[in-house]
Amino acid sequence: MPVRTKPAPRPDTLPPALRRTRETFLAYLRVECGLSANTLEAYGRDLRDLLADLHRAGVQKADDVTPRALVAHVASLSSDRRLAASSVARHLATIKVLFRWLHAQGRIPENPADYLDQPMRWKRLPNVLSPKQVRALLAAPRPDPEAGDEAPPLWVRDRALLELMYASGLRASEVGTLALADVVRDLGVLRVTGKGDKQRLVPMGVPAREALDRYLADCRPRLAREGTRGLGRVFLSRTGRPLERVAVWQIVTRHARAAGLEGVHPHVLRHSFATHLLAGGADLRTVQELLGHADVATTQIYTHVDRSHLKDVHRRYHPRK
């Protein structure tokens, strides 16, 4: 039977000192660190849970926090809330950043988070499609026989979206924010704005470029409407608004099911993009740049997914094969 936990107090029911700590820290992350909205949201959730637990333990201000209180909070994430190891590690990272900042600002005399050890994280290998499965997914969007001639051919939009995500390794959020001005047609590249508003140039590839051209010519003009805020975005909804990240997920999962594929979401296309590049002989640093990873260690997980290329190189070139 699952363990029931007390609901976290609302932020406005926290003691004034803890509430100010939360607001000031999030403002620091937003203004000085320039974190993206999604990252800020994750920090905010972790911080809400932390301060709620500390408040229930009798903490009124940051000075009152002890290593024992932090250990109890981290332990409850696994024992009471049944969070995965990766989620616990993310919570722990939030705690360390918060108390490192408080100590550096002189708001607390000692850093109680120094006593917390970073748990070992098992790297979960990403789900990756085979080239055959990718072809089936890309071919899944088809004309709707029940749609009238006046209806926009949304299947053309969906095919262009899937082609671009696989050809360029785009995140769901990056697809939604892609602007018409970001498509450099003559060079065959996209100007992609990723996490932390960092920009990178990513090639499209011929099939993706052709699918995008067809969408821009045959479908998008019928979706765009005067007065909507989506006129500058590439991918639009049926109502002419920019596609939200949730809508991108729904498009990918719907066509994956139609192709007979289970457990496929936008990031699986990104994983497949990176893995297929490495298996084809691309070097790790190039794939890191294409994915927009700040640290090559994040990209290295893909070297563990497909060993066929490494085995082939060893078989062909090792003197004692």
**HEC profile of 156-214:** HHHHHHHHHHHHHCCCHHHHHHCEHHHEECCCCEEEEECHHHCEEEEECCHHHHHHHHH
The verdict on whether 270 is a catalytic residue reads yes
Catalytic residue among 90, 91, 159, 171: 171
C-beta separation of 303 from 284 below 8 A: yes
The verdict on whether 28 is a catalytic residue reads no
Give bridge partners of residue 190 from the DSSP assignment. Answer: 183, 202
Catalytic residue among 30, 96, 107, 195: 195
Residue labelled with tokens 């498509």: 183
- Buried b / exposed e across 210-226, counting CB within 10 Å, b at 16+? ebbebbbeebbebbeee
The verdict on whether 302 is a catalytic residue reads yes
In angstroms, the first-to-last Cα distance of the chain is 55
The verdict on whether 166 is a catalytic residue reads no
Q: What is the largest CA-CA distance in the chain?
A: 71
Catalytic residue among 73, 220, 255, 270: 270
Catalytic residue among 61, 103, 107, 267: 267
The verdict on whether 318 is a catalytic residue reads no
The verdict on whether 10 is a catalytic residue reads no
Q: Residue type at 213?
A: D
Catalytic residue among 43, 166, 215, 302: 302
- Catalytic residue list: 171, 195, 267, 270, 293, 302
